[in-house]
Amino acid sequence: MRLLTVMLRGTALMGLLVGCAPSRAPVTVHDLAVQDTVVEPVPPRVEYRLVVMGDQGTGRPEQRAVARAMQAVCREWGCDLGVGLGDNFYPSGPARVDSPLFRERFENLYGGLGFPFLMIPGNHDESLLWGGDGANPGGAEVQVAYSRVNSRWVMPDRFYRARLGKVAEVLAVDTAPLAAYLPSRRPQERPGGSWDVAQRAWLTQKATSSVAPWTFLLGHHPLFSNARHGEAGAYDRLPTAQQRGDAVHSLYRSVCGDVDVIFSGHDHALQLFAPQPECPGTWQVVSGAAGQGESAQRGHRPALFQEFHQPGFTWLRVNESEVKLRFYTVGGNGTPTLAFEQAITK
């Protein structure tokens, strides 16, 4: 059992990370041997501006257009930190840290923004037999290893937390093994296995004990969605409990009310849900359109905003009293259009 605070390596952002030195100490989470990985990606401040992208790694013109639009929004409104919500590469994740895919679909497009991205894996990143089957956790581990050579790519572990000064705590989880189309190649990572139990115990403990004004959760698969894949526990109308994401549903429901916002991708759409009766006190953002907007409406859950066809991303500003969300759609020339905004206050 250990508490691991991972130091981001590389040269580009080392000046920004002074004062965020790592430490390691043993901890116990519900009597389980759980690794707690903590990072401080940027120096503390009273307000943070984040740009959130998901399912961006298509290599298509839409990905490049969204990257240009993000640059424009960051120039106008400022950005301190990015978030990548998984499916960082299509159809499958890189097999090696030195794969050119990291350069072509991440560094060349987003490196010029000059700030780090909190990254999580998606089902395409963990492909085994075909793209998106979610059965190879080794794909996520390659991306964890990449964080040691590029300080802009922050994925120190497959589940971890990030401190944003005294303003917010970000909890990041790996949902790919819990809603894989094929059972994970590692039995312990299948729903109900020891890895699943450890991640769940860590998440619930950290969510309930967080003292930050805001607690955010990053997970590739959404809890609520009206788009093509649908909601946790009913993904793609598939027959098995694993494929339909029963374990994802249970994971998220365990922290309803303890986390303020769940950020997810998976569906190539933009959606915002106010707290629902099934998950009171927690908002849901789906921002999975940074590589293409190709979804179709399937569900009819009441949403404050939803866009199924255009690519886009989310920007937010957070301080101790307010989260301001902005959803942008993007045209083919990379021009961002503000489609919706919402303020969340305590």
- pLDDT-derived band at 10, boundaries 50, 70, 90: very low
**For residue 14, pLDDT beyond 50:** no
Residue 256 DSSP one-character state: B
Residue 28 has a pLDDT of 58
pLDDT tens sequence across 211-251: 999 999 999 999 999 999 999 999 999 999 999 999 999 99
Exposure string over 129-166, b if 16+ CB within 10 A, otherwise e: eeebbbbbbebbbbbbebbbebbbbbbbbbbbbbbbbe
- The token pair at 131 is 């793209």
**For residue 325, pLDDT beyond 50:** yes
pLDDT tens sequence across 272-305: 999 999 999 999 999 999 999 887 899 999 999 9
Window from 30-39, 239-248, 314-323 with minimum mean pLDDT: 30-39
Helix (H) or strand (E) holding 81: strand 81-84
**For residue 261, pLDDT beyond 50:** yes
* Mean local confidence (pLDDT), 193-222: 97
Burial class (CB in 10 A: 0-12, 13-18, 19+), 300: exposed
Residue 8 has a pLDDT of 30
Inter-axis angle of helices 194-209 and 246-253, to 10 degrees? 20
Task: Report d(CA 180, CA 26) in Å as an integer.
Answer: 31
CB atoms within 10 A of CB 19: 8
Cα dihedral 53, 54, 57, 61 in deg (nearest 10): -60
pLDDT tens sequence across 40-88: 999 999 999 999 999 999 999 999 999 999 999 999 999 999 999 999 9
List 322's β-bridge partners, or say none: 345
- The token pair at 145 is 């290893």
pLDDT tens sequence across 87-105: 999 999 999 999 999 999 9
* Mean local confidence (pLDDT), 184-213: 96
- The token pair at 184 is 């994970």
CB atoms within 10 A of CB 188: 14
Residue 12 has a pLDDT of 36
- pLDDT-derived band at 6, boundaries 50, 70, 90: very low
Higher pLDDT: 24 or 320? It is 320
Give the residue from 131, 130, 153, 133 showing the smallest Cα distance to 143. 153
pLDDT tens sequence across 109-130: 999 999 999 999 999 999 999 9
Give the residue from 291, 150, 160, 299 showing the smallest Cα distance to 225. 299
Contact 339, 305 (CB under 8 A): yes
**For residue 38, pLDDT beyond 50:** yes
- pLDDT-derived band at 27, boundaries 50, 70, 90: low
**For residue 18, pLDDT beyond 50:** no
The mean pLDDT of the chain is 91
Torsion sign over Cα 291, 297, 300, 304: positive
- The token pair at 138 is 């080794």
Which pTM value belongs to this model? Answer: 0.92
Give the position of tokens 């395409």. 124
Residue 16 has a pLDDT of 37
Residue 32 has a pLDDT of 61
**For residue 342, pLDDT beyond 60:** yes
